[in-house]
Chains A and B, each alone.
Chain A
């Protein structure tokens, strides 16, 4: 019996099964996972690990375990999507921890959420003074959503009665010295225009450019050359 060969085959099966199953479960960022979903992820990963290297047991029961756990999660996801009432019980409800500037100790105790957790999460949001907070809600994924009191909210263009500013996504037109013609076409420009713009900055060849992006909303071109002309390169920011 060649243990290495068996591990290779079983690992291959575990890897691609996990890949297929996680694709079925859909895209969710780790930060969006609830605690239960996080634990589910660890369990599914652990089963896949056992399937891969535990030669003392057959691989099939582990594979079935993987299938059952994945499809149970899938069923719960479908239930949560279609029955919001059921979702409340399955994933929990967000809890208000600060209301009208007052800390709701009872709600915090129910969620086993300490004052230190609250202060830490507020600091993470650059809030160092509790007087600034009107509402704070502890979401199912553990994130804290904060609504500041009106006097502490940042000024917006509408507050100043200014017209809205156009926003747009930048398009990469040169990446690693290579021109992306489709992107150039998308922004309604041609190579003549690009060459002129590059010449203005003393660039004769596309190969000199590491990245060039164009923002159609602002009409601005960002160019980063391979040659940075920084006297001393610093790897360590400190």
Chain B
């Protein structure tokens, strides 16, 4: 009986480790309305395409808040470089939206999508 318990506990620990190390995909998904990265990024992309930079600025702030919340969850399972890359994209997007530079902002947002999809891969 104790041997079964011993192996069960060990297997359980290993499963927990595997789960933590692969939790990125689950942790990326929104847990509330405030951390829906995909929703805010999509809205931002539409704002930039329509050249509505005032709304884009507002949505970018929401996107930054959502990203900060997600980072605290995904940091254990994804590359630090990918996280930093999205931070850089957000910083550049801030500048492009301030300058009302549609072309550069769209390039930046596409790159951000690319990083987003490569998280945990």
Q: Are B77 and A58 in contact (CB under 8 A)?
A: yes
Q: Are B79 and A63 in contact (CB under 8 A)?
A: no
Given known contacts A6-B76, A9-B76, A60-B77, is B83 in contact with A1 (CB within 8 Å)? yes
What is the bound-complex CA distance between A3 and B71, given in angstroms? 11
- A107 CB to nearest chain B CB (Å): 44
Among A2, A13, A55, the residue within 8 A (CB) of B17 is: A13
Given known contacts A9-B20, A20-B13, A58-B120, is B75 in contact with A2 (CB within 8 Å)? yes
Query: In the complex, which residues of chain B have a beta carbon less than 8 angstroms from the beta carbon of A57?
Result: 79
Query: In the complex, which residues of chain A have a beta carbon less than 8 angstroms from the beta carbon of B72?
Result: 1-2
Q: Are B14 and A17 in contact (CB under 8 A)?
A: yes
Query: In the complex, which residues of chain A have a beta carbon less than 8 angstroms from the beta carbon of B79?
Result: 55-58
What is the bound-complex CA distance between A56 and B81, given in angstroms? 6
- B102 CB to nearest chain A CB (Å): 30
A1-43 contact mask (Cβ, 8 Å, vs B): 1 or 0: 1110110011001001100100000000000000000000000
Among A6, A9, A16, A60, the residue within 8 A (CB) of B13 is: A16
What is the bound-complex CA distance between A59 and B120, given in angstroms? 10
> Which of the four size classes fits the interface of chain A?
10 to 19
Query: In the complex, which residues of chain A have a beta carbon less than 8 angstroms from the beta carbon of B18?
Result: 63
* B58 contacts A by Cβ under 8 Å: no
Q: Are B21 and A59 in contact (CB under 8 A)?
A: yes
A64-103 contact mask (Cβ, 8 Å, vs B): 1 or 0: 0000000000000000000000000000000000000000
Query: In the complex, which residues of chain B have a beta carbon less than 8 angstroms from the beta carbon of A3?
Result: 80
Q: Are A6 and B17 in contact (CB under 8 A)?
A: no
Q: Give residues of chain B (62-118) contacting chain A, Cβ–Cβ below 8 Å.
A: 71-72, 75-81, 83-84
Q: Give residues of chain A (141-167) contacting chain B, Cβ–Cβ below 8 Å.
A: none
Chain A residue nearest in CB terms to B78: A58
In the complex, 25 of the A-B residue pairs with CB atoms within 8 angstroms, ordered by the A residue number, are: A1-B72, A1-B75, A1-B80, A2-B75, A3-B80, A5-B75, A6-B75, A6-B80, A9-B76, A13-B17, A16-B13, A17-B17, A20-B10, A20-B13, A55-B79, A55-B80, A56-B79, A56-B80, A56-B81, A58-B21, A58-B79, A60-B21, A60-B22, A63-B17, A63-B18
Q: Which residues of B contact A (CB under 8 A)?
A: 10, 13-14, 17-18, 20-22, 71-72, 75-81, 83-84, 120
